[in-house]
Structure 1
Amino acid sequence: MNFFTADTHFFHKDLLGYNDFAPRPFPSVEVMNETIIKNWNARVKPADTVYHLGDIALYFTHPAKLSNEAVFEVLKALNGHLILIKGNHDSRDLFKFLDHHNFILTGKPKFEFHDVGALIKLNHRQLYMTHYPMMMGIVKQIINLHGHIHHYSVNIKEDINVGVDTPEKAYLDYEIPFGTPFSETDIEKMIIGKREDFAKRG
């Protein structure tokens, strides 16, 4: 099973609290991290694949090895194979560290890395997955899954924000606990919901 997420921002203290950009009403980054891990693992199984569309964490130390180790420990605690698409807050040094410490999980590497994006087919559509939302023009059966803009939505029906703060989960008629990656079914409902929303606008 494939799942999709973005903008977990593990360890990012400045996001804590209520704000319009990325509301994170947690008392500490430790509680936020633990909440995401718990909700993630309640849904994702070890053999599943999760496309993480960037901004894994925001945590920098000197030496960088300390923060890289801390982020690695969090990612090890998450179920599934992680296909990591580089976000603007993801350092190349972190990716190199993760690659150096990569390991096999249920027959496949825990981590896979993409600098720009990844493309898969799902339900007769192409899903182009990037960190930044893409302006693709008039396209048929191509959907851009993205992150980066947190609690905002692109005013284009083919662009779906899959970040943990996305307002577009309002297109679902059920609750998704904070930090839970979206399933293929969730994505399909969000695509259809946004398309129907745009049709109503005339």
Structure 2
Amino acid sequence: MSFIRKFYVADTHFLHSNILSLSRRPFRTIEEHDEHLIQQWNAVVGPTDTIYHLGDFAFGLNECADKIRWIFSRLNGRKYLVIGNHDLRHGELHPTIAGLPWAARPEGFSFAEDEDNKLVLAHYAQREWQWMHKGGYHFYGHSHGRLLGIGGSRDVGVDMPDVRYTPCTFSELTEMMK
């Protein structure tokens, strides 16, 4: 029996050159940024591990579809997407994102269990969530560190100082909350 680890990440914004200044990412070029994120991802996520991406996977979905598919193919793990605002076109899942071989159909939010804990996964922070008062957790992205978590919630975006552009496990993320 093999052991499958679970990881969480948000806001990779692959190919989004403006994200470098918008969220003060310390990279000179978007190519350097993207390669660093791919390297960090594959350093921790194995081919059979599960990874939940909580939105805003990539940018330039119309003009960069081939590059997005190439980046996706280089990333380890069984990948699940919780849809973010940059994953949409006219309110619907963008065809480039929809066409990637996700482990399941991307959804607006998702439920998961990890280390006997219940999680609510969303791109946007929620101030109330299922199991909040029973020890459940809520992981989100979108805010790029501008919105502090409350109780068992936290931003898991790559640009959070304690995340360091690397997907993290439940234990790592909750330890960082203490």
Q: Compute the TM-score of the two structures, normalised by the length of structure 1.
A: 0.76
1:114 corresponds in structure 2 to 106
Q: Deviations over 1:69-121 (max 9, x none)?
A: 211110111111110111000022223321xxx3xxxxxxx532332111112
Q: Quote the residue 2:174 is aligned against.
A: 188
Corresponding residue to 1:133 among 117, 125, 128: 125
Aligned residues: 167
Q: Equivalents in 2 of 1:125, 1:111: separation in Å? A: 22
Report the AA paired with residue 112 of structure 2.
Answer: I
After the TM superposition, which residues 89-100 of structure 1 pair with which residues of structure 2 at under 5 Å, given as runs? Answer: 89-91=86-88, 92=93, 93-98=95-100
Letter of the 1:114 counterpart: P
CA contact (8 A) 1:6 1:146 kept: yes
Alignment of 1:29-108 (within 5 A): 29-60=30-61, 64=62, 66-91=63-88, 92=93, 93-98=95-100, 102=101
Structure 1, unmatched stretches of 5+, are: 103-109, 170-175, 194-202
TM-score if structure 2 supplies the norm length?
0.85
Q: Quick one: percent identity of the two aligned structures?
A: 31
**Gaps in structure 2 of 5+ consecutive residues:** none
Contact 2:98/2:106 (<8 A) preserved: no
CA separation in 1, counterparts of 2:23 and 2:58? Answer: 14
- Structure having the higher Rg: 1
Which stretches of structure 1, 4 residues or longer, exceed 3 Å deviation after superposition? none
**Whole-angstrom distance in 2 between the partners of 1:155 and 1:112:** 27
| Aligned partner of residue 16 in structure 1, secondary structure | helix
- The separation in 2 between residues aligned to 1:6 and 1:160, in whole angstroms, is 11
Structure 1: distance between partners of 2:105 and 2:173 = 22
Contact 1:37–1:179 (8 Å) recurs in 2: no
